[in-house]
Structure 1
Amino acid sequence: MASKLQQLQARAAQATQFVTKHGNAYYKQLLEQNKQYVKDPPTVETCNELAKQLWYTRLASIPGRTESFWKELDYVKNMWRHRKELKVEDAGIAALFGIECWAWYCAGEIIGRGFTFTGYYP
């Protein structure tokens, strides 16, 4: 156990040295590549204004998203009413969607338990 801790500390020290040497250059390169996304002047006030713009833009998009939701729901209801005419492809897509939802649920449960697969280990 102590040897693993020493190995971890050595790797952390190597990573720190690498970031110390190359971090500034990487930061400058990243900003240069993405300068079209930087709002001038880069101040706290600008950040607050952008945060408000994002908030109210998302708020304004709610009616469009609810309309899309109701259209999707009507589509599903219509498919359920005409389920006798349902094609195998549509049933397969629905089954895959259900399996994907179940898999995400299982992944969330595993993550919520601290990445344990069964039971609780203190």
Structure 2
Amino acid sequence: MASKLHQLQSKAVAASQFVAKHGCVYYKQLLEQNKQYIQNPPTVEKCSELSKQLFYTRLASIPGRYESFWKEMDAVKQLWKRKDELRVEDAGIAALFGLELYAWFCVGEIVGRGFTFTGYYV
């Protein structure tokens, strides 16, 4: 156990040395590549204005997303009505979608709890 702790500590030291050596260059390069997104002057007022713009823009997009949702639901209803004509590809897509839902909800919950399983005694 002590040797693993020592290995982890040495890796952490190596990583922090790498960041200390190359972090500033990476930071400047990142800012240079994305300077079109930087607002000048960088003040608290400007940040507040941008956050309000983002909030109200997202709020204004709700009706369009709501309409898209109901179009998708209508497509699912049509597929369900014609379930006798269901192809293997459509069934595969539905299975992958179900697997993705499982991953987002169940596995995400497990990861959020720090990879602990509640209710199980192992």
The TM-score, its normalising length taken from structure 2, stands at 0.81
The CA RMSD over aligned residues, in Å, is 2.3
Aligned partner of 1:104 in structure 2 is: 104
Distance 1:41 1:53 in 2: 17
Counterparts of residues 44-83 of structure 1 (less than 5 Å): 44-83=44-83
Distance 1:23 1:120 in 2: 44
In the alignment, does 2:12 pair up with 1:33? no
1:6 is displaced (CA, Å) by: 2.9
Given the superposition, is the C-alpha separation of residues 91 and 31 from structure 1 closer, same or farther in structure 2, using an over 3 Å criterion? same
Distance 2:34 2:74 in 1: 42
SS of the residue corresponding to residue 72 of structure 2 reads helix
User: How many pairs were matched up?
Assistant: 121
Given the superposition, is the C-alpha separation of residues 69 and 21 from structure 1 closer, same or farther in structure 2, using an over 3 Å criterion? same
1:25 is displaced (CA, Å) by: 1.4
Give the percent of matched residue pairs that are identical in Structure 1 and Structure 2: 72
Given the superposition, is the C-alpha separation of residues 20 and 112 from structure 1 closer, same or farther in structure 2, using an over 3 Å criterion? closer
Given the superposition, is the C-alpha separation of residues 87 and 3 from structure 1 closer, same or farther in structure 2, using an over 3 Å criterion? closer
In the alignment, does 2:10 pair up with 1:10? yes
1:102 is displaced (CA, Å) by: 2.3
* Bigger Cα displacement from structure 2, 95-104 vs 18-27: 95-104
Instruction: Give the aligned residue type for 2:40.
Output: D
Unaligned 5+ segments in structure 2 are none
1:63 is displaced (CA, Å) by: 0.3
1:45 is displaced (CA, Å) by: 1.6
Unaligned 5+ segments in structure 1 are none
